[in-house]
Amino acid sequence: MLDQHAAFGRIVDMHTHVFDSLPQPDARVLERMQRLARDCGIAQTVLLANGTGILADMKANEALIRDINTYTLKAMAHRPERIIGFCYLNPAHSQRFLHEELERCITRGGMRGVKLEAAVNARDRRMDPLMEMVEALGVPIVHHSWYKATPHGRNESNPSDIADLGRRFPQVQLIMAHLGGARQRGILDIHDLANVAVDTSGSQPEEGLVEYAVRRLGAERVVYGSDWPIRDYAVQLGRILAAEISDRQKEMILCGNARRLIGLGEDGGSCSS
């Protein structure tokens, strides 16, 4: 059933992790990640960070950050045609370190964006120096976000925090992670911010939520992400394929928007390579 969609074989997954040792990838881990992705028609996966490092320390020190990013660089080298790396950072670190790591990972290393988790809240003014550096580079940021009825992390951002960041830095492209965590309230928070998109990952594939996001944001601001291996590629793809939106909108969400956002080609939302 998954292979019945026109985008099959060209899909870009904007939100993946691995759980592996640091900093040297186990080739078997990466091959399993790619084999399962390929079976679902996913051509490229955006590796946001080795989750082992994030779980070890949400406010990772500089050495751990370096290891996480070194892992991503090695993973990209292992499968350059399939793995797109994002640079994992903690905005609380020194500007010197942030600059060096962006230089190492993006300018020289070929990563295509920045991933921020929950070390610093998106409203925190410590974000500003990093945001200015990212703006100069012209790459997007995938930022964790969730509205939780359960206790949340001390500095964890919710969608209103992401909206605040998006307003302060209108020239920076933000991708708010976890539509399933943002839900209706979170979509409304960012609805008037053209520089903020949402990825479709997070929680169970709640019926109607993709349609809601498309209605409020437009399909061009919704991008497929799975959060694999916490989630299942097939299930998270299923929520896009099941949504009552047009095939054209599905194609934008499954690959065209991601290609545009991470600079793989300006093709107006289609999936051509």
Partner 1 sequence: MQQLIDASVFCGCWPFRPLRFRTPTLLKERLRKGGVSQVWVSAVEAILYPDPLEANEPLFEAIRSDDFFVPVAITDPTLASWREDAGFYLEKFGCKALKLVPNYHGYEVEDYCVDDAAAFAREADMPLCVQIRVMDERAHHPLMKVPPVPAGQIATLARRHPDVRFLACGAYRGDLSELSKAPNLWVEISLVEGAQTIVEAVQSMGPRRVVFGSHSPFLYLRATLAKLEAGTGEVAPEVVEAVRAANARELMDG
| Least spacing, CB of residue 220 vs partner 1, in Å | 22
DSSP state string for 136-182: HHT--EEE-----SS---TT---HHHHHHHHHH-TTS-EEE--HHHH
22-81: contacts with partner 1 (CB under 8 A): 32, 36, 39-40
Structure tokens at 221: 């601001």
170-209: contacts with partner 1 (CB under 8 A): 180-181, 183, 203-208
Taking CB under 8 A as the criterion, the residue among 241, 255, 262, 271 binding partner 1 is 241
Structure tokens at 222: 């919704």
Beta carbon nearer to partner 1, 238 or 269: 238
Q: Which residues on adjacent β-strands are paired with residue 266?
A: none
Beta carbon nearer to partner 1, 18 or 133: 18
Task: Sketch the per residue contact string, 117 through 156, with partner 1: x for CB under 8 A, - otherwise.
Answer: -----------------------------xxxxx------
Beta carbon nearer to partner 1, 39 or 128: 39
| Least spacing, CB of residue 35 vs partner 1, in Å | 8
| Least spacing, CB of residue 185 vs partner 1, in Å | 10
Rounded CA-CA distance 12/6 in Å is 13
211-230: contacts with partner 1 (CB under 8 A): 228-230
Q: Which residues on adjacent β-strands are paired with residue 47?
A: 16, 85
Q: What angle do CA 118, 258, 45 make, to 5 degrees?
A: 70
Q: What angle do CA 148, 72, 22 make, to 5 degrees?
A: 85
| Least spacing, CB of residue 13 vs partner 1, in Å | 13
Counting every residue written for the chain, the total comes to 273
Region near partner 1 per CB under 8 A, out of 43-51, 129-137, 237-245, 248-256:
237-245
Rounded CA-CA distance 190/211 in Å is 16
| # of chain residues touching partner 1 (CB under 8 A) | 35
Kindly state whether residue 108 participates in binding partner 1, applying the rule CB under 8 A.
Answer: no
Which run of H or E residues covers position 216? Answer: helix 209-217
Beta carbon nearer to partner 1, 94 or 184: 184
Beta carbon nearer to partner 1, 36 or 264: 36
Taking CB under 8 A as the criterion, the residue among 2, 92, 188, 264 binding partner 1 is 2
Give the count of alpha carbons within 13 A of 8, CB side only.
11
Kindly state whether residue 243 participates in binding partner 1, applying the rule CB under 8 A.
Answer: yes
Pairing between strand 196-199 and 174-176?
parallel
Taking CB under 8 A as the criterion, the residue among 58, 92, 188, 242 binding partner 1 is 242
CB 88 within 8 A of CB 97: no
Taking CB under 8 A as the criterion, the residue among 66, 79, 115, 239 binding partner 1 is 239
- Cis omega (within 30 of 0) for bond into 25: no
Rounded CA-CA distance 53/60 in Å is 8
Which residues bind to partner 1, rule: CB under 8 A? 1-2, 32, 36, 39-40, 146-150, 180-181, 183, 203-208, 228-239, 241-243
